[in-house]
Amino acid sequence: MKRFLAAAAIAMAGLPALASNDDIVKVKSFSDVATTMDRLEAAVTGAGANVFARVDHAAGAASVDMELAPTQVLIFGNPKIGTRAMRDDPVAGLFLPMKVLVYRDGAGQVLFRGRDISGLGPAARARRGIVRTFERAELFPDLDVAEHVRLAVQARRRRGSRMLGLASADRAVLARTAAILDAAGLGAHAETAVTALSRAVRRRLEVAMMMAMEPALCLFEAPMAGLARDDAAGILGLIAAMNRRDGRTILLVEHDMDPITDIADRILVMEAGWLVADGPPEAVQAAPPDMDPAAGLAAAHG
């Protein structure tokens, strides 16, 4: 996730000739640079200040065939306030008018429960309660359905995969495995090798493994892709149950928006990488008809 920062130099009479980092206030924005600047400009003019200039540094770089990450500067002030400050100390004129710099931070940052997880690998993120599926099921070809779920149960209990042979002696693991198989509608497939499963059943198995991990955040990538309508409805039913019965937060990416509106609390619509709609399903459905929802990102919050 890219961060967009607004850095404002706070000008006051009596400051030294060059402002230090301590004199700069940085604030994160979750909108793009242009949108953030539009809102800042509206707020400044709404407060009665004058906007003297808005400089688009990226556009300037493009005009000389150079590249620069989106960066804009807003120059504004209130002559009444500025004049009083300069009467008290002419040096204040070095810092007036005020400036706000809005730029894209190329480093980016991903926060989960207030902690930065940007540099963590899949295993470390899973230990922190984030589990995901892919559009193409990632399963072990040599294991049957029950063994897949049993491994996930063991992983939740902080046991290594080498414990597979000892799992039969652990009644709690077996009981939990059986309960998840039943909840996912996989009881009849418990001893079936994954290579013999249909696409729909493989997808159910992925959901069952996620249920076994008991994550705080479940990420799904196109869970309905390639499924018949009835099978897709069954998968969405399992996902909805994880949210409403188990309290899991669900984030899923899906191109077929109609079924998503039945289970999502919030829908974000993206087009060409830009966020074009964000709100409850009924609000997004009422969006302008010229919107082209190239990809839908639905989030159901636990």
State pLDDT tens for residues 150-169: 999 988 876 444 445 554 54
pLDDT at residue 22, as a whole number: 55
Strand partners, 99: 9, 75
- Report pTM: 0.58
Burial of 210 (0-12, 13-18, 19+ CB in 10 A): buried
Record the tokens describing residue 223, joined without a space: 């869970």
pLDDT value of residue 105: 72
**pLDDT reading at 106 higher than 70:** no
Can you tell me the distance from the alpha carbon of 137 to that of 261, in angstroms, rounded to the nearest whole number? 24
Across the range 61-87, mean pLDDT stands at: 85
Nearest to 9 by CA among 72, 104, 75, 88: 75
Q: What was the pLDDT predicted at 101?
A: 87
Alpha-carbon distance of 269 to 257, in angstroms, equals 9
Share of the chain above pLDDT 70, in %: 81
First to last CA, the chain: 22
The answer to whether 259 and 233 have CB atoms below 8 angstroms apart is yes
Tokens 């009083």 sit at which residue? 84
User: How sure is the predictor about 299, in pLDDT bands with cuts at 50, 70 and 90?
Assistant: very low
Statement: residue 186 has pLDDT above 90: yes
pLDDT of residue 193: 92
Between these two residues, 102 and 270, which has the higher pLDDT value? 102
| 293, pLDDT greater than 90 | no
Domains, the chain = 3-109 (3.30.310.70), 111-139+215-302 (3.40.50.300), 140-213 (no CATH)
What's the chain's length in residues?
302
Which amino acid would we find at residue 173? V
Per-residue confidence (pLDDT) for residue 287, from 0 to 100 = 67
Two structure tokens written together for 17: 């000739």
Order of strands across the sheet with 50-56? 24-29, 3-9, 98-105, 71-77, 50-56
